[in-house]
Structure 1
Amino acid sequence: MLVDWQGYKPGPSSPVTEGFQALRSTAGPDGTAPFLLGFGSVARVNPYQALLYRSFERHGFAVTPVFDVTRLRELLHLKPMASGVGLHLHWTSSVIGGARNEREAVVKSNGFLGRIDRFKESGGKLVWTAHNIYPHDSRFVDVDLALQQGIAERADAVHVMANATASALGDHLRLDGRKVIVAPHPSYEGAYENYLSRSESRQSLGLDADELVFVLFGALKAYKGLKELADGFDELCRRRTPFRFRLLIAGAADEAPIVQDFVKWAVAHPLVMIDTKTVPQHRVQNFLNAADAGLLGYSRSLNSGAALLYQTFGLPVLATDTPVLREALDPASTRYFDPHSGASSYATNLQELASVSKNFETAALQTSLKEIAPELVSTRFAKALAAKLGVNTLG
């Protein structure tokens, strides 16, 4: 028979179809039934979830995507086949994202929390990862914050990526320390093709060998400090320096006015190259291997996959100074700054990062990345989560 790819084709019977296949494909420890763990929202482009769950099968879990998290109760149909059923909730923006006004957002939020209550009353377990202070595109911040608080209070386990997360969230979210599991964002080791040389990557983009190239990689959003970057780079270009600079931008642009203004600036700038489409996985290496340093001047940030992606490709990083990022990133390869300190300060930080990148040695960075290798992070998280949820495991 012909191969029929499974797992990422949501249909009318989702998430039961995917969950059934996950149970069929996973062997529990000692021949026992595995614990069925659904996860959503599902990241289709970012391989973060695949890396996070990489070792879960060996620790008693069958992991399955849940494309519509409002249908979480349907996972319970598979409870007789499993040792238990749970939902690992990641980003919450889909819950109220389509609301037309605040009142509708509240209704959607309350309805979702009600579904969680019924799910738990029927024996389901809930895990939540605190990815952001609140959803990046939130239109009703207070409603989103109340939703997150309700989820945290109902969760059996709350996953954070740094010890500093609780203090970084401040008054936005109260966490019960007894529920918290700290598991860092894994590196992207092995997740992307990485065989092109620096010269081959630059050739594919039309860059010269002696240009000092900064890269901003990932979806273009207003919270990523785009105007500050534009002002800072313009100031840098006005200075007399020993370097030839180039700014490389790659990532899908949303429709926010500040993002569209940034795109127009980038397209018109002779020293900026921009691709506003989602970058295919096999093309990621072209952009990152062509660069000398990665930029992360976010105006609001908790965790950052882009920072780990830069460092996985051996790039030094200029990052917003936050406690979480200081804990998460390799100190020897990261320069921290305040992106709101003005164009002159931004330009100075870019110039100093350029000097660092010209003589950057990756040995210390590679040692640091070993501590957050996907296999290691996934194994530690699986063990900690199994203990919280009472999952039978041999690990």
Structure 2
Amino acid sequence: MELVSQTAHTVGARRGVTSFPPAITQNPYQRLLYSHLADLGFPLETAERLDVGWLVGARRDVAALHFHWPQAYYRHQGRCAFVATWIKLALFAARLLAARLLRYRVLWTVHQVYPHERGGRGTDRTAAVLLSYAAHALLVHDDCTAERVGAELPWAARKVALVPHGSYAGVYPAGRSRSEVRRELGLTDTAIVFLAFGHVRGYKDLDVLLDGFAAAGSAEIALVVAGLPLDGPSAQLVSERARSDPRIKPLLGFIPDEDVAELFCAADAAVVSRGDGGTSGALILALSLGTPAVVADVPGYLDLIRHGAAGWSFAAGDPQALGHVLDAAVADAYEFAAK
């Protein structure tokens, strides 16, 4: 509320907020965020591009430029990528300067200081430095990310505002029964089912997940990997392991809203295997839906599971440790069922 009030005071009649990159309606995080801002009188205004022409023309309606994942505005894919990326980075810097001169409020929600898939030769670092200087505020969802901002961008630490990630409770419809979903997946009612939900990408440490699952000694367990593949090697790894182990059930594709809650209902626990820390929407989703989680032992995740009250933790990056923790979760599940 304080940031909203500051923006209103600074820009007067202008009250629109524009998301960069543009908000995706399928993303409940952005959908809920901008819906609540609109309720407070700060409507979402769309932008097809970020350039000086748009900045000049949008001044009448738009008060704040809200960055989430800025790499699309400076990275170039394809031929001459190195040179083209630095040219785009220079243009990005010029546009940020223009935004400040035109009295926009610049906000950066730091989901992570640097992109998960790092670029080359200092471009991500340079972009983070530029945006941290241009931003009036850097918003973070957890103390772990705030500490990383302080370590990597110390001059921006005074501009950091901690805004806890919202809950997804009530966002997704309940869906079908646990038994019906399990039958469709080829799972028995007595199996202990772990769910890895979210985009299938390299930074999710899916190799640790799959190796840890293979290392678990419990007999009747299963692993559902559900989410849209965003890189080929990760999807291929999941598919190959599923072909060799029928206990692994891949659902590699976009998961519609009506299928989300029922997948978590069918699972006994979620698994978040990534060990890089930061904000995990998949973990917050699991806990919002009442599903305990197995997580890597990084500070932000340990805080969310309340240091064991809502799940289990394993040594990040260690498949054997994950296997042991999966076995512990299975034992706990059987104990709860017997009570």
Query: Which TM-score bucket, shorter chain as reference?
Result: 0.7 to 0.9
Please give the per-residue CA displacement for 1:2-26, whole angstroms capped at 9, x wherever unaligned: xxxxxxxxxxxxxxxxxxxxxxxxx
Equivalents in 2 of 1:46, 1:141: separation in Å?
31
Report the Cα offset of residue 182 of structure 1.
0.8
Partners in 1 of 2:206 and 2:124 — Cα distance?
24
Q: TM-score, normalised by structure 1?
A: 0.75
Q: Which residue of 2 aligns with 1:228?
A: 208
Residues 374-385 of structure 1: matches in 2 within 5 Å? none
Distance 1:175 1:303 in 2: 22
**Which structure 1 residue ranges, 5 or more long, are not aligned?**
1-27, 362-395
- Aligned 8 A contact 2:167 2:285 in 1: yes
Output aligned runs, 1:297-376, within 5 Å. Answer: 297-331=273-307, 332-341=309-318, 343-358=319-334
Q: Aligned equivalents of 1:74 and 1:309: distance in 2?
A: 36
Alignment of 1:245-324 (within 5 A): 245-324=221-300
Aligned partner (choices 47, 72, 79) of residue 66 of structure 1: 47
Which whole-Å CA distance do the structure 1 matches of 2:89 and 2:148 have between them? 24
Cα distance change of structure 1 residues 212 and 180 upon mapping to structure 2, 3 Å threshold: same
8 Å Cα contact 1:267-1:274 kept in structure 2:
no
2:3 corresponding residue in structure 1: none
Paired amino acid for 1:221: R
Q: Which has the higher contact order (CA 8 A, sep 6+)?
A: 1
CA contact (8 A) 1:164 1:327 kept: no
**2:36 is the alignment partner of 1:55:** yes
Equivalent pair of 2:226/2:251 in contact (CA under 8 Å): yes
3-state SS, counterpart of residue 194 of structure 1: coil
State the shift of 1:91 in Å.
0.9
Deviations 1:89-111 (A, max 9, x none): 11123123433433322221121
The unaligned stretches of length 5 or more in structure 2 are 1-7
Deviation at 1:224, TM superposition (A): 1.0
Aligned with 1:99: secondary structure? coil
Equivalent-residue separation in structure 2 for 1:265 and 1:197 (angstroms): 28
- Which of 96, 102, 117 lines up with 2:74 in the alignment? 96
Cα displacement (A) at 1:247: 0.6
- Aligned positions, number: 324
Matched residue, 1:218 = 198
CA deviation after TM superposition for structure 1 residue 199, in Å:
1.9
Letter in 2 for 1:260: Q
- 1:307-365 C-alpha deviation (Å, 9 max, x unpaired): 01111121111111222223344441132222323x3322101111223344569xxxx
Displacement, 1:53?
2.8
| RMSD of aligned residue pairs (Cα, Å) | 2.5
Q: Percent identity?
A: 26
Question: 1:104/1:255 Cα in 2 relative to 1: closer, same or farther (>3 Å)?
Answer: same
Corresponding position of 2:119: 139
Shifted more, 161-170 versus 117-126: the winner is 161-170
